[in-house]
Amino acid sequence: MEEANRKIAQFSKLQNDLQSLILQRDNFSKTNAFLDKKLSVTTQKLGALEEGRRHDQNEMRKMKEQFNLIDRERLFYKSLSEKLEFRQTDELENLNQNVRNLTEHEKDSKLQIELLERENQECQHQNRQLVSDLQRMQRDLKSIMAVNEEYQMQTQQFKEREGQYGELGREYREKLEAVKFERERIALKEEQFLR
């Protein structure tokens, strides 16, 4: 009788362990879905920053081309001013004004180029940071996937064990019935003996 009770207790404990494993599997699935979503958002941010960096590079190239054009125009007007230094004062003043305007424009262009270069450096830094974060998350995801595969294998093993435990439970119940039957038979014999 004690052996039957001990086996029933073992069977109950195995059922509790199985329920605990099912709960752990559900929590793991939720965590995996959260990490997948976070990885997707980070990838989208990385794409947006990469697009912004390419846009800034194009803008900087255009500004440099414009600067080179302005510099050529400045040199042209400077050369022209030197050639026309003996001409009328009004014409010379106008040309000098154009040169001054172009010089100011050149300064503004240089400032804009420096600003774009700083912004480009910041974008590159952010891009490197995001790439590092993405690589770290990919490593974490691989680890999680490996754990998930191991968990699925364990789940399959537990399912197989559950079938075995079901069979054992059936055998235990049959043995309990036999024990009860034997006890009743013995009690009946005792009762007949006492009569």
Residue 19 has a pLDDT of: 74
> Is CATH 1.10.287.2610 what the domain over 2-194 is classified as, yes or no?
yes
Provide the CB-side half-sphere exposure for 37 (13 A, CA).
6
DSSP-assigned states of every residue in 128-182: HHHHHHHHHHHHHHHHHHHHHHHHHHHHHHHHHHHHHHHHHHHHHHHHHHHHHHH
Instruction: Give pLDDT tens digits along the chain (195 positions).
Output: 566 666 666 666 767 776 777 777 777 777 777 777 887 887 788 778 778 778 878 888 888 888 888 888 888 877 777 776 666 676 667 777 888 888 888 888 888 888 888 888 888 888 888 888 888 888 888 887 888 788 788 878 877 777 777 777 777 777 788 777 777 777 776 666 665
d(CA 62, CA 51): 17
Show me where the domains of the chain are located. 2-194
Give the up-direction half-sphere exposure of residue 125: CA atoms within 13 A in the CB hemisphere.
6
Say which DSSP state 195 is in.
-
Q: What share of the chain is helix, strand, coil (3-state, %, to 5)?
A: 95, 0, 5
Write the burial class of residue 177 (CB in 10 Å: 0-12 exposed, 13-18 middle, 19+ buried).
Answer: exposed
